[in-house]
Amino acid sequence: MLGGMIIPMRKVMVYFVGGGGSGSTSDPRGTIFSQLADASHLSSRGDVVVVTVQSRVGPFGYLYGGTKEAPGNVGLHDQILALRWIWYNIGTFSGDRTQVTIFGQGGGAVSVGAMILSPLNWRLFRRAILQSGSPLSPVTGPTSKKQALKRTMELAAKLDCTSTKGGEKKGGGVSTKNIEVTLECLRSKTVQEIVDASKVEGFSSGHSLFRPIYGDDLLPGKPSKVLTEGKFNLGFDLLYGTVKDEGADFAAAFVPAGADSANPLTVESVKETLKWMMVFYGQSYGEEVAEFYTSESFLNESSTREDMR
């Protein structure tokens, strides 16, 4: 009630930032202030309260060292804290806390998937929408602690922060003392140095070495195993799909160098590019994808350069 008037409670939509250009778990440049995360259009067109969540991203949100100082998944913990804040406070903004939908695209969809799988999120949302992303992704989905520690040491090597001092060994063959020295060194680097060093080579859109881990209190098990065994949050509505032209940003990184008017793309070069993309993303059906998208129903030798792009 406001000034004697009864204000109707509205459904709530919570957006986790994602996508190659604005980022979430895998992009260290992710921000709710990007144009892609602007909620004003959705909130003005729909009778809903829209919340966009800023969380730590890239190495700042997912660097893992097996210590209290670098536990991994702090970005996901930020998102859970946001959902808890919404539960206790959204009523002040005429939002109905029992009607919360979480949604995200790309890396944001991975976050949504993690929220579904996490035992720490019981009753904090009722519906979920995953757009062109999944916690099962071999590229952006949660990884093991051993693999995450390896990525941390790769970052450390790029920033000349590796240590050869002895100590008790941790997973991945790195000693406790080593990782403490490494983390101290990483703290001495600037934000920009860390961002630049954490980028995956070949991607101009900011994709990072770092992503969520499984095996902690937030994500106790490997996502595929948790889903198979049904040990995740139940009783919510799920909408899952893909965004048109989602792969365009990724494909641009694989276009053969020098592809211009003097060196035009051909059906064969596009086919080889598609095959390599599938290999990079850990998929075994590259041949089938390449054949499908370069078939005569899609492309032929008379196709324009724009068609091939």
Which stretch of 13-27, 49-63, 256-270, 280-294 has the lowest confidence by average pLDDT? 13-27
> Does residue 284 fall inside a structural domain?
yes
Looking at the fold, whether 261 and 220 belong to one and the same domain comes out as no
Question: How far is it, in rounded angstroms, from Cα 185 to Cα 169?
Answer: 19
> Does residue 249 fall inside a structural domain?
no
> Does residue 189 fall inside a structural domain?
yes
Looking at the fold, whether 88 and 219 belong to one and the same domain comes out as yes
H runs (alpha helix) in the chain: 40-45, 58-62, 74-89, 107-117, 145-158, 176-187, 191-198, 223-229, 248-252, 267-280, 286-293, 305-308
Which H or E run contains 188?
none
Residue 173 has pLDDT above 70, yes or no: no
268 close to 302: Cβ distance less than 8 angstroms? no
Question: How far is it, in rounded angstroms, from Cα 169 to Cα 271?
Answer: 46
> Does residue 100 fall inside a structural domain?
yes
Residue 20 sits in a domain whose CATH number is 3.40.50.1820
Please state the rounded mean pLDDT for residues 171-193.
79
What is the Cα gyration radius of the chain?
22
Amino acid at site 56:
R
Q: What was the pLDDT predicted at 27?
A: 47
Number of structural domains in the chain: 3
Looking at the fold, whether 26 and 136 belong to one and the same domain comes out as yes
> Does residue 113 fall inside a structural domain?
yes
> Does residue 108 fall inside a structural domain?
yes
Looking at the fold, whether 237 and 295 belong to one and the same domain comes out as no
Comparing 37 with 26, the larger pLDDT belongs to 37
Please state the rounded mean pLDDT for residues 35-47.
79
pLDDT, tens digit, 9 for 90 and up, residues 53-98:
888 888 999 999 999 999 999 999 999 999 999 999 999 999 999 9
> Does residue 206 fall inside a structural domain?
no
Q: What was the pLDDT predicted at 45?
A: 82
> Does residue 76 fall inside a structural domain?
yes
Looking at the fold, whether 122 and 234 belong to one and the same domain comes out as yes
Amino acid at site 252:
A
The SS3 call for residue 208 is strand
Q: What was the pLDDT predicted at 32?
A: 66
Which residues on adjacent β-strands are paired with residue 104?
16, 130
The two structure tokens encoding residue 69: 């100082």
Taking the alpha carbons at both ends of the chain, their separation in whole angstroms is 55
Residue ranges making up the domain that contains 261: 254-308
Looking at the fold, whether 24 and 168 belong to one and the same domain comes out as no
Q: What was the pLDDT predicted at 19?
A: 53
Looking at the fold, whether 31 and 161 belong to one and the same domain comes out as no
CB atoms within 10 A of CB 152: 28
pLDDT, tens digit, 9 for 90 and up, residues 26-35:
444 456 677 7
Looking at the fold, whether 279 and 293 belong to one and the same domain comes out as yes
Looking at the fold, whether 90 and 17 belong to one and the same domain comes out as yes
Q: How many CA atoms lie within 13 A of 225 on its CB side?
A: 9
Looking at the fold, whether 297 and 179 belong to one and the same domain comes out as no
Looking at the fold, whether 23 and 109 belong to one and the same domain comes out as yes
Q: What was the pLDDT predicted at 198?
A: 85
Question: How far is it, in rounded angstroms, from Cα 33 to Cα 29?
Answer: 11
Looking at the fold, whether 236 and 91 belong to one and the same domain comes out as yes
Which stretch of 20-24, 187-191, 207-211, 279-283 has the lowest confidence by average pLDDT? 20-24
pLDDT band at 51 (very low <50, low <70, confident <90, very high): very high
Distances (CA, A) of 220 to 88, 92, 224, 227: 26, 34, 12, 12
Angle at CA of residue 230, ends 226 and 231, nearest 5°: 60
Question: How far is it, in rounded angstroms, from Cα 39 to Cα 250?
Answer: 25
Amino acid at site 40:
S
